[in-house]
Amino acid sequence: MTDHTAAIDVRLAVVGGGIVGLTLALHLKRRGIDCTVYEAAPTIEPLGVGITLLPHAMQEFAALGLEDALRAEAIENRESAFFNRYGQLIYKELRGIAAGYPVPELGIHRGTLHRILYEAALAEIGDERIVTNHQCTGVTQRDSTVAIGFRETASGEPLPAVEADVVIACDGVNSTIRRQFYPDEELQFAGINTWRGVTRRAPIFDGRTYMRIGSIETGKLVVYPIVDDIDGDGNQLINWMAEIRRADVKKNDWNEPGSTDDVLPLYADWRFDWLDVPALIGNADMILEYPMVDKDPVERWTFGRVTLMGDAAHPMYPRGSNGAAQGAIDARTFADALATLGDPVAALAAYEEERREKTANVVRMNRAYPPDYLIVKVDELTHGKPFDNLDDYISQDELRQISERYKNVAGFAIEPKS
């Protein structure tokens, strides 16, 4: 990252104080550019469950000086392993520093990541520039400024409009600002519902393994630890995500808590010698339900002095932990463009030119060839049955190539040494 000390005189408003909005604010501050973040939530509180910070995400957070803080409260993944629904190992590979990356791959609670970013933003940009309880109602553009409408989230009462030179919409998959420019757009739901939970239990394998089990056609599970020694007895907090595709199914409501009654029957006979899945789900501290949704890539993010960023720009399936990673890259890309060009309108154009098609490719890949596609491939070859010798169906080298293809499109493949 290049530090720029010369301040740029621009009133920049960031709508949304989530992971991407706070990352953008920090990147801008490092380049001598002030902004104000407007967050809808009345207070910033830790929400959600786990998230994996892959190397391309960690590079962005490390550039902000947050690597040590994140490592102190996360678990470093050393290996990624893929299994069929019978618990048979299909493929495994080293991850993070063990695989040769300069930064670790971390499993962490999403709320912890948000808190670390929030504390850094408070220290660096000041609490007066992080304005909560402001729900955006839309934007109105004038010749050289933008008026942002707000209402108080807690009461619903109108608030005074805010004038800015540039507005960056970081307000998520249900972005109010994106809806203003794409009013007829709908979330794309392919009949895949998901449940996310956290469970306290003994470490699985070495306690540093990211596991993908099964496929969405018959039930899929992603499992990884996010907190070490959660209770003083050596148990970890294990994050898990279950998902399945079913015909003519109603979309899960992400505003509702999940229920073991909905998810546990799908995995009732998933008992392996290394993991009792019904016990993992049944003993969960909490379960949240989500639909697997995204939106079709659009041909334009920027409208005058307003642009979209993160999930507001490129909502993608929550596969491969790419949403936060791509949003963090968005943030740094725009901050660099503004610091280099000085002109905010030119910076908006440069940012979109650099990022729009790359993220569209990730959206498309997550639909067709997600990171666990190799499990689907093995299921096809074995007709969904247990195997005696996997090499009779597909080689480890072919599986490695499938894994590397995903990393290349997502942007975190290791460059070959010259």
Q: Residue 226's closest CA among 252, 245, 208, 202?
A: 208
**pLDDT given at position 308:** 98
Cα–Cα distance for residue pair 370/318, rounded to 1 Å = 10
Is the pLDDT reported for residue 16 higher than 70?
Answer: yes
Ramachandran bin of 412, using left for φ above 0, alpha for ψ from -120 to 50, beta for the remaining angles: alpha
Q: Mean pLDDT in the chain?
A: 91
Poorest-confidence range of 146-160, 189-203, 228-242? 189-203
Task: Provide the residue type at 14 as one letter.
Answer: V
CA-based end-to-end distance of the chain: 23
Q: What percent of the chain has pLDDT over 70?
A: 96
Number of H helices, E strands in the chain: 11, 18
Residue 288 in contact with residue 257, Cβ under 8 Å? yes
Residue 347 in contact with residue 354, Cβ under 8 Å? no
| Tens digits of residue pLDDT in 64-86 | 999 999 999 999 999 999 999 99
**pLDDT given at position 114:** 96
Exposed e or buried b per residue across 105-135, where buried means at least 16 C-beta atoms within 10 angstroms of its C-beta? bbbbbbbbbbbbbbebbeeebeeebbbbbbb
pLDDT band with cut points at 50, 70 and 90 for residue 5: very low
**pLDDT given at position 320:** 63
Cα–Cα distance for residue pair 21/49, rounded to 1 Å = 19
Domains of the chain: 1-43+132-188+301-369 (3.50.50.60), 50-109+189-293+372-412 (3.30.9.30)
Q: Is 12 exposed, middle or buried (0-12, 13-18, 19+ CB in 10 A)?
A: buried
Write down how long the chain is.
418
pLDDT band with cut points at 50, 70 and 90 for residue 1: very low
| Tens digits of residue pLDDT in 114-130 | 999 999 999 999 999 99
pLDDT band with cut points at 50, 70 and 90 for residue 27: very high
pLDDT band with cut points at 50, 70 and 90 for residue 47: confident
| Tens digits of residue pLDDT in 366-384 | 777 777 889 999 999 999 9
Is the pLDDT reported for residue 14 higher than 90?
Answer: yes
Is the pLDDT reported for residue 336 higher than 90?
Answer: yes
**pLDDT given at position 417:** 44
- Chain mean position to CA 18: 11
146: which 2 tokens?
């933008």
| 329 vs 296, higher pLDDT | 329
